[in-house]
Structure 1
Amino acid sequence: MTNTIDPPFTETVHTVPSSRTARSERILPEAAELARLGTVRVARLRHPVQWIVTAVVLLFVLNAGQTLFTNPSWEWPKVGRWFFSPAILTGLQLTLLATAISAVVSFLGGIVVAIARLSSNPVLSGLSWLYIWIFRSVPLILVLIFLYNLGNLYPTIGIGIPFGPQFQIPTISFLSDLTLGVIGLSLSEIAYSAEVVRSGLLAVDQGQHEAAKALGIPGWRQFTRIVLPQALRSIVPAYVNQIVGLLKASSLLFYVSLLDLFGVVQNLASTYPTDIIPLLVVATIWYLILTSAISVMQYYVERFYARGAFRVLPPTPLQRLRRAVASLGARR
């Protein structure tokens, strides 16, 4: 009997690479490829047309600046003499007053007309649409001329019962030239600001209205505390453009015997015909200053109402300047 001895049991163990080893084996070729590409010099893309256009624009700007300050016909000494003259400052004050009152009245009136335009009441909606259609179609100068001749159309104005007793006063004594000018600017501007306000109200998400109604918040409080603050993010940029246009449109008050900034310049130019160019330059500079001030106010108002849209507000130009100065001092 033969004894057979079985061969010893051998077990084959298959080693499975760990996830870290597999990941390193996968990353190493990519790292090698990146290292190889790092030695390759990458050439920047050339933009010859862009550089040519930039050079032409800079050349044009330098030539314009040279002619602006070297041409004696501009008469800059006279510009400096007229810039702070009492007549110019009086006209500037009237321009600021008429623009400020008209801007406030037109914004508040625009809110009322926009709400009526969005109303489900067909009478309010139809009348607001008719108002916007009329005053957006008629030029501002015609509105001012009609109001200036209002005393010829209606010698007296009054309030009372239609076809009954009324309290009447003379139109000329009640409405001054400034009042007529502000009314004309406001009537025309309300039509445009109403559309700006309406677009801002429609931009608010409908869920905000539904959530406010679900919480039982009164309608007026929904509008003033929830809807309008969110709508102002869209309203402010467009309405500030309207204010800039209103500021420039105030120059038409000269045609209804109001001596605003432009009207004073026109009168002085007729009195001093040799100073026409310096006076026009003075008016231009003042309008540039006023519109720049409005743009600065627009920036900070937009920043105020953007608090809910950004977690961290971007720094203002003044903050950027302070940081740049601080970093420069730290480097030194």
Structure 2
Amino acid sequence: MSTSASGRGAVGTVPPPHGGHDEPAPIKAVKLRHPWRNVFAVVLVLILVLFVLDAAQRPAYDWPTVAKYLFDRRVSQAALVTLELTALSMLFAIIIGVILAIMRLSPNPVVKSVAWFYLWIFRGTPVYVQLVFWGLIAIIYQTIDVGIPFTEPWVSFDTADLIPVFWIAVIGLSLNEAAYMAEIVRAGLLSVDAGQDEAATALGMSWSQTMRRVILPQAMRVIIPPTGNEVISMLKTTSLVTAVPLTTELYSRTRDISAETFNPIPLLIVASIWYLFFTSVLMVGQYFLEKRFARGIGDRPDAGPGPIVGTPATGVLPAVVQDPTIGAKQGGDAR
């Protein structure tokens, strides 16, 4: 059927896409300029370069002494003790923290109150003060008695001989850290929707199966980041065990060496380099752990529906013009 003189399309024809107009020219995006941001970055780089050059020439840092003691046997052994303190303290802190978190979520008011009281004590007092108390445990409790209370003990042990100083430091650090781990674990468990627990119960799972297969895998993405931060914080907190007193860890050992050489600044740099090395390794491990437990979380760019084929991705559906003769024919057939 031909087109009328007015230029109107014949009945039943579909108008060309975009209303018959040519496609618009692509937009040329002009990147915004931030001159002051570039100036600030240059100033920061200059300050950093000036600081490095000044530190390299300043005699007080005594870089030859730093190089001499950086891999000294006494320092490396003390670094190993620091790692042992960190690993053991965090292991016991996580175990106790999980127990305390479950107690905090218990419907039993007595159990919940005991857990709250523990957190109130250990979060409300400085860790250094707690370590001093643990260092005096042999004075407070001179013996450890085994037997029936208020009767003659069956066996009695001298506290100073039974518990070495290293394990007193581990106990003090882990009990303090457990109070913080309890809140981290509790926050992770509360982040999982309650419907997950109900669905697992409806499927016939036991409490342990629900926690292991449903709750914990989802809560780990909330628990892992702050736990990694606590591990790094624990590594640095080990420098406070001199209050116990334990003098075989990294900071105390470098301090003792500096007391012999009367040159504390290079030994402080040595300890800082070791701490920075350990924290850098822990940060890399934390990154991969977070990436591992965050799988499937977040937006997927390929998951959403794409634009309709043959139409521009404007978010507006194309107009559809129906031939009126089709409806008339269908109406006549229906009659």
Question: TM-score w.r.t. structure 1 length?
Answer: 0.82
Paired residues for 1:182-193 under 5 Å: 182-193=170-181
Query: Which SS does the other structure have where 2:21 is aligned?
Result: helix
Q: Which one-letter code corresponds to 1:82 in the other structure?
A: Y
Query: Which SS does the other structure have where 2:156 is aligned?
Result: strand
Q: 1:23 to 1:14 in 2, by over 3 A?
A: closer
Q: Which one-letter code corresponds to 1:181 in the other structure?
A: A
CA distance in 2, matches of 1:146, 1:279: 29
CA distance in 2, matches of 1:197, 1:14: 69
CA contact (8 A) 2:191 2:222 kept: yes
Which residue number corresponds to residue 3 of structure 1? none
CA distance in 1, matches of 2:297, 2:18: 45
Which residue of 14, 21, 32 maps to 1:28?
A: 21
Which residue number corresponds to residue 265 of structure 1? 254
1:103 positional shift: 0.7
Which residue number corresponds to residue 53 of structure 1? 40
Indicate the percent of aligned positions where both proteins have the same amino acid: 36
1:302 positional shift: 1.5
Q: State the Cα deviation string for residues 279-318 of structure 1 (Å, max 9, x = none).
A: 1111000000000111111112122222343699xxxxxx
CA distance in 2, matches of 1:14, 1:86: 93
Q: Which moved more, 1:297-306 or 1:142-151?
A: 297-306
1:254 positional shift: 1.8
Q: Which one-letter code corresponds to 2:214 in the other structure?
A: I
1:158 positional shift: 3.0
Q: Residue 15 in 1 paired to residue 10 in 2?
A: yes
Q: Residue 230 in 1 paired to residue 225 in 2?
A: no
Unaligned runs of 5+ in 2: 1-7, 301-335
Q: Residue 155 in 1 paired to residue 142 in 2?
A: yes
CA distance in 2, matches of 1:25, 1:235: 52
CA distance in 2, matches of 1:230, 1:289: 31
1:220 positional shift: 1.6
Q: Which one-letter code corresponds to 2:255 in the other structure?
A: Q
CA contact (8 A) 2:119 2:179 kept: yes
1:143 positional shift: 0.9
CA contact (8 A) 2:103 2:112 kept: yes
Which residue number corresponds to residue 7 of structure 1? none
1:42 positional shift: 6.1
Q: Which one-letter code corresponds to 1:300 in the other structure?
A: F
List 4+ stretches of structure 1 deviating above 6 A.
Answer: none
CA distance in 1, matches of 2:17, 2:200: 56
Question: TM-score w.r.t. structure 2 length?
Answer: 0.81
CA distance in 1, matches of 2:281, 2:145: 41
1:184 positional shift: 0.3
- How many pairs does the alignment contain? 291
Paired residues for 1:115-194 under 5 Å: 115-164=102-151, 166=153, 167-194=155-182
Query: Which SS does the other structure have where 1:158 is aligned?
Result: strand
CA distance in 2, matches of 1:112, 1:230: 19
1:128 positional shift: 0.2
**Which has the larger helix fraction?**
1
CA distance in 1, matches of 2:196, 2:29: 52
Give me the CA root mean square deviation.
Answer: 2.1
CA distance in 1, matches of 2:295, 2:103: 29
Which residue number corresponds to residue 320 of structure 2? none
Q: Residue 252 in 1 paired to residue 245 in 2?
A: no
Q: 1:154 to 1:54 in 2, by over 3 A?
A: same
Which residue number corresponds to residue 194 of structure 2? 206
CA distance in 2, matches of 1:14, 1:243: 74
CA contact (8 A) 2:135 2:243 kept: no
1:74 positional shift: 1.9
Q: Residue 300 in 1 paired to residue 288 in 2?
A: yes
